[in-house]
């Protein structure tokens, strides 16, 4: 009798008896993310922890993602994502890994990085338009957080959302990182549709040499301009420029190495698991989530398109120094994936065409552009809404 009762209680406590349809769906999504990372090689450093975190978050009764009962990935989320700490540490590491030389050598590519942020504001308006429907209701804070997905910059999206719309952190973080990982799939069709074969074959001149002094002055100058004009962007840009200065000054190599390797790896693990923790079925499978994913894709596509179109215009104007329009697509902040994609598409048309360093100019400019756009939204949205 007691044994039968114990067996019954054990059976009732298994995952099979407590699994809901939504949890099954999200666990499958987690396995799909793992497949894309392991088999296809799509940003494995991001998708492996995110996919695994999604699986952990949907295990029945385990409460691994529940901060209130000390679920471990729930604790990571509360400690690093809700506070905005992890995105800033990621930006510090990105700064230490980034060479701004291509941007310094060709400053006009800064315009391409700015153009690619156009999708942010299109998605913002789209989110506000959707709020008039019967099944989706986004306010201005939500719309601003959704729009930032268009910059294809996961840390920036998380930082802005944690400040403006923390309830949407899960789907926005997942959308931002998913589109970063899917750059090789999303961008090439847009790039080919907007350019001719001749334009894709354009060869660009070799970039000039950038001195160490220029590279040291650059982060200090950018930070100074940020302090004067846009203090709300200082946390992101400050972390980015600190990491970059540590790399370029040449006197704190141990700190730079730590930011690039140990710190970056640890925070990436924690951040990925934290993002995956918000993919719980009851919170993720909603009409609002589908709207966020759709708007994020639209924003990212528009950002890619505007970058390419502006590069085409610049090429028409600049007769002396030809510009391959493909590098405009690298204006989104997915570093260095977007630059690699621009180079790959260019080499498909001309195997001897090497666009990687040219594309890195708008690519790193996109990082700055998304941080500036974030600062603008953080500064003006509360004022307008208030």
- Residue 128 corresponds to which tokens in the numbers above? 């506000």
**Tally of structural domains, the chain:** 1
The backbone torsions φ and ψ at residue 59, rounded to the nearest 5 degrees and listed phi first, read -75, 125
Would you state the pLDDT for residue 362? 94
Distance CA 236, CA 240 (A): 6
Q: Give residue 37's pLDDT.
A: 87
- Collapsing DSSP to helix, strand or coil, 43 comes out as coil
* DSSP H or E stretch at residue 89: helix 85-97
What average pLDDT does the segment 182-188 reach?
Answer: 88
pLDDT of residue 296: 86
Is 216 buried (19+), middle (13-18) or exposed (0-12) by CB count in 10 A? middle
CB contact set of 42 (below 8 Å; sequence gap of 6+)? 36, 181, 182, 184, 185
DSSP assignments along 306-333, one per residue: HHHHHHHHHHHH-SSS---GGGGGGGSS
Give the CA count within 13 Å in the CB-facing half-sphere of 308.
Answer: 26
Q: pTM higher than 0.85, yes or no?
A: yes
**pLDDT reported for residue 134:** 63
Distance CA 266, CA 181 (A): 19
What are the structure tokens assigned to 276, written together?
A: 């995956």
What is the tens place of the pLDDT at every residue in 186-209? 999 999 999 999 999 999 988 899
Cβ contacts of residue 165 below 8 Å, gap of 6+? 141, 142, 144, 145, 172
- Four-point Cα dihedral 159, 161, 165, 171, nearest 10: -130
Phi/psi of residue 126, each to 5°? -65, -40
**Which one is predicted more confidently, 386 or 209?**
209
In whole angstroms, give the CA distance from residue 323 to residue 316. 9
pLDDT: which is higher, 12 or 84: 84
Q: What is the pLDDT of residues 294-322, one digit of tens each?
A: 888 888 899 999 999 999 999 988 777 88
pLDDT of 1 over the 60 cut: no
Higher-confidence position of 258 and 177: 258
Full residue range of the structural domain in which residue 380 is found: 2-385
pLDDT > 90? residue 135: no
SS (H, E, C) 211-259: CHHHHHHHHHHHHHHHHHHCHHHHHHHHHHHHHHHHHHHCCCHHHHHHH
């Amino acid at each position: 009798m007691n044994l039968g009762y114990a067996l019954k209680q054990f059976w009732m406590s298994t995952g099979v008896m407590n699994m809901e349809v939504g949890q099954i769906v999200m666990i499958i999504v987690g396995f799909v993310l793992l497949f894309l990372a392991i088999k296809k090689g799509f940003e494995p450093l991001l998708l492996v922890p995110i996919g695994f975190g999604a699986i952990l978050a949907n295990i029945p009764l385990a409460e691994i993602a529940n901060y209130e009962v000390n679920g471990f990935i729930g604790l990571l989320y509360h400690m690093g994502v809700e506070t905005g700490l992890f995105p800033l540490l990621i930006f510090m590491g990105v700064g230490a890994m980034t060479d701004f030389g291509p941007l310094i050598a060709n400053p006009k590519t800064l315009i391409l990085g700015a153009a690619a942020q156009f999708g942010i504001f299109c998605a913002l308006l789209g989110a506000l338009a959707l709020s008039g429907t019967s099944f989706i209701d986004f306010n201005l804070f939500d719309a601003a957080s959704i729009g930032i997905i268009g910059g294809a910059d996961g840390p920036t999206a998380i930082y802005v959302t944690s400040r403006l719309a923390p309830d949407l952190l899960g789907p926005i973080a997942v959308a931002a990182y998913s589109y970063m990982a899917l750059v090789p799939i999303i961008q090439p069709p847009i790039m080919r549709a907007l350019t001719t074969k001749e334009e894709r074959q354009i060869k660009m001149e070799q970039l000039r040499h950038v001195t160490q002094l220029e590279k040291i002055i650059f982060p200090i100058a950018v930070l100074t301009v940020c302090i004067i004009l846009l203090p709300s962007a200082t946390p992101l840009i400050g972390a980015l420029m600190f990491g970059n200065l540590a790399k370029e000054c040449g006197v704190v190599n141990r700190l730079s190495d730590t930011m690039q390797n140990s710190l970056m790896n640890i925070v990436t693990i924690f951040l990925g698991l934290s993002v995956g923790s918000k993919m719980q079925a009851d919170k993720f499978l909603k009409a609002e989530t589908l709207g966020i994913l759709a708007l994020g894709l639209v924003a990212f596509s528009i950002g890619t398109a505007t970058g390419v179109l502006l590069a085409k215009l610049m090429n028409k104007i600049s007769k002396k120094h030809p510009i391959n329009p493909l590098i405009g697509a690298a204006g989104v902040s997915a570093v260095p994936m977007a630059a690699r994609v621009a180079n790959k598409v260019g080499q498909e048309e001309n195997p001897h065409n090497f666009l990687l360093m040219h594309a890195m100019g708008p690519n790193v400019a996109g990082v700055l552009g998304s941080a500036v756009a974030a600062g603008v939204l953080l500064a003006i949205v509360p004022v307008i809404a208030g």
